[in-house]
Structure 1
């Protein structure tokens, strides 16, 4: 009898494990990922639409921007709300599929996926709405990676009196400043053509860079540091691109450590692409302006 009970128990446990694996696999397949093209499934308004992920539809909310509202629940549409919705629909219909990129926080309080949306022709939907004056910049921490670039696009649209800026009476959404760390004593330089970033510690104390993040702002790419200590007066260089090294190399400056970023074409050589360095508390520790 005990033997049969043991067999039955083993069968139950095996079945539960298989069901768990199946559920985990199913859940994973239904989550939108970066660097994947998804079919556009439905349209909501200027900054919200849906894509097909597996057998389900996922709602996408455009990161860093806010478009005027359309007519909902007997509430009149805001100026340029219908125009923004029509423009978004047009670009999405022409593209058919989109590719998504994300920041630190993936979902908003309504469980919508927060994303930068790339169209098939290479345009970024979020940025095009700003250029047309059909959206305002909306920065909500901790998603701040593209703040500088998007505010520049908004200022250009203002200067051109595009869309909702035509009257000259519209105001930007109140700024949400990036929390900055106290003076870190770090200096950062970027050689974009060489895809080489150098970070120098000018203080008299070592700095632990574990879990710090180096961000290519326009390229929307992030390098996360492993456990590495930057000694007083020391430098660390992060190399990316097609000609990146295959391992540690001796650098011209004695005491410089070299790290390899296994990504090509990180830095935009045709437009401004600032570099930002965040500490493990997501505080801005250093910036390279690219002016």
Structure 2
């Protein structure tokens, strides 16, 4: 009797054990996480910037190439800095006067920052703005005598000033070889005073340049004149934008065109 019960008991035990295993499977070991060197939650295999913490989906940090505060993904001009309210693009300055169009009362005409982008009135064209000219209808005589009030003074003029242009008057400013004379140095210093009164920011040093014959004596003279004038004006008026302008033809000669 006992022998007949043993096989049945074993079968029952096996069935119970199998059922328990089915209901309680063996716990699986946790999987090793994928490598993530920068710890940004993006696996190295999918991370385009694996050594720099970033964001999904590529694991790279937000870029701002021009440093203007507008992220490249939202910046219409990612290589040129602009104000935040301008979609990352720089403000436009159509007339090139240094005053952006949105703050320029005269956006189509180059003016001055102190006049909200408009050209200040200078009725007598002596370099003094009317608002600061004691004699707005009478031009200053630039001769070294009271050249600070905008009024004419006794004595011959040493500069001709009109319509944004300064030309020498009186003794020659340059020798025949183009070397600066003493009168020329004084004249350029007076010209610097005109540029200061006019709040000029750009000056074109105009010289008569022959149309052909590179390296000729006239060309070398013109180059010396321009170089000497630029050196003096740069010393007298630091920060002034200076450039040489070569002119040719009848009436061409040394002058300073300013704006």
- State if a TM-score over 0.5 links the two structures: no
Larger helix share, 1 or 2: 2
Give the structure, 1 or 2, with the largest relative contact order (CA under 8 Å, sep 6 or more).
1
Give TM-score scaled by structure 2 length.
0.30
